[in-house]
Each structure stands twice: as C-alpha cells, then as structure tokens.
Amino acid sequence: DAGVIQSPRHEVTEMGQEVTLRCKPISGHDYLFWYRQTMMRGLELLIYFNNNVPIDDSGMPEDRFSAKMPNASFSTLKIQPSEPRDSAVYFCASTSLSSYNEQFFGPGTRLTVL
Amino acid sequence: EDQVTQSPEALRLQEGESSSLNCSYTVSGLRGLFWYRQDPGKGPEFLFTLYSAGEEKEKERLKATLTKKESFLHITAPKPEDSATYLCAVIGSGTYKYIFGTGTRLKVLA
C-alpha cells in the first residue's frame, strides 16, 4: 500500500482565497482524521470520520473550515476564506480497529497564507 | 478535560547517554496511550500502543512503560539517528478523539 496520500504538499495563497486540501486514506481503513500542527499548539485534531460519517468536529476552529468525505477513499478539508493565522501543516491520518488503533499519517500539507 | 503533558520540551544527549521522556495524562477511561516519532518535514510515525497500567513495550533502543497517570519512553544508549520529536497521545472511552501532547524534541550528539 502507498500509505496515506495528501495533496498538495505545499500551498501558498493569499488571505481571502479558498484552500482545498485532499487526502486518500489507506485502503480498508474506516477512520480518517484531520490534524493541524503549529509550533505553538502542537498537533490538534480538527475532525474525524468513521465510515465516511463525521463523528466529532469539535476541533474545527470556526465556520471557515469544512471537511467532507464523499467516499471511503477520499476526503477534503476546505478553508474559505483563508487567513494568515491558518498557516500550519495539515495532516491526514487513517486507522481501523484491525490496526489496533495505530494511526498512519500522511506526509502533510504545508499551508502558508499571506 | 482530557489532557496530555510531555516533558521535557527539549533534550540533548550525548551518544550512549540513556534517558527518559515523560508523558503525563488525564483522560476518562483510558483506552490507549500511543507513542509516535516525528522527523522534520514528515508525518508522525507510530512506535507503541499501551493499554493498561503495568504494560511495557520494547523496540530496539526504546522501551515504553505505563502507569495510571503517566508513561515513560526510555531510550537506552541512543544514537544520532534517534534524534526526532517524540509525541504521546491518548484516547478515552467511547471516542477516537486522539489527544496529543506537544512533544519532546530529542537531539543526540555524536
């Protein structure tokens, strides 16, 4: 398996623009997680899905953030409009009960909002 | 509120100098405590899962232990390639909401 795939790896945009981050989980995994990592706050869970259904989105900072999982092999995290304080590395991770809760992380998307 | 605190924030060791990293946690009904390693520019990589107090896991120079309030990651005779950030996370009962600590940045000098 290729592991968790994220795109793009780097994104530079201007304040006010829409940003869409993409994730392909490991085949067979039924849990998908979106995280944000900054030096100040570390790794924060934004939202997680089980069987494509959002279970807990309490970490989503505000209405500008939205996430979808239209099928088992694809998820998006959208920021609209983006702000400079959204600059961070965004990680996607997946797991399943048969993986004993071990999360497999993607390489991350480094987002810079100017 | 579920919480994870890691210490120290940063640690510099000479090659071969053993030490321990600490992870203190507060969670309702611990279902699992996890250790991850993160190299610069990469996603965290899984090391261990511990489920109950008294449990221990080992992998090469690393050994993780768990009590009811904290976990330790012991590093024996570290090498420069062990330099990384080590993250601790927990999940509580009835949820898959992983709570991560802010990590310990380990630097092993040759």
CA B94 → CA A23, A34, A76, B98, distances in Å?
Answer: 25, 19, 25, 12
CA distance A109 to A24: 13
Best A43, A51, A57 member to test B by mutation, with max B CBs in 10 Å, is A43
Mean pLDDT of chain A: 94
Confirm if A46 and A94 have CB atoms less than 8 A apart.
Answer: no
**A84 burial level (CB within 10 Å; 0-12, 13-18, 19+):** exposed
CA distance B2 to B58: 26
How far from chain centre, in Å, is Cα A68?
A: 10
Tens-digit pLDDT profile for residues B96-108: 889 999 999 999 9
Tens-digit pLDDT profile for residues B21-67: 999 999 989 989 999 999 999 999 999 999 999 999 999 999 999 99
Q: How far is A40 from chain B (nearest CA, A)?
A: 9
How many A-B residue pairs are in contact by the CB < 8 A criterion? 56
Chain B residues with CB under 8 Å of A50 CB are: 96
What is the full DSSP assignment across A54-107? EEE-TT--STTEEEEEEETTEEEEEESS--GGG-EEEEEEEE-GGGTT--EE--
Tens-digit pLDDT profile for residues A41-82: 899 999 999 999 999 999 998 899 999 999 999 999 999 999
A106 pLDDT more than 70: yes
CA distance A83 to B53: 43
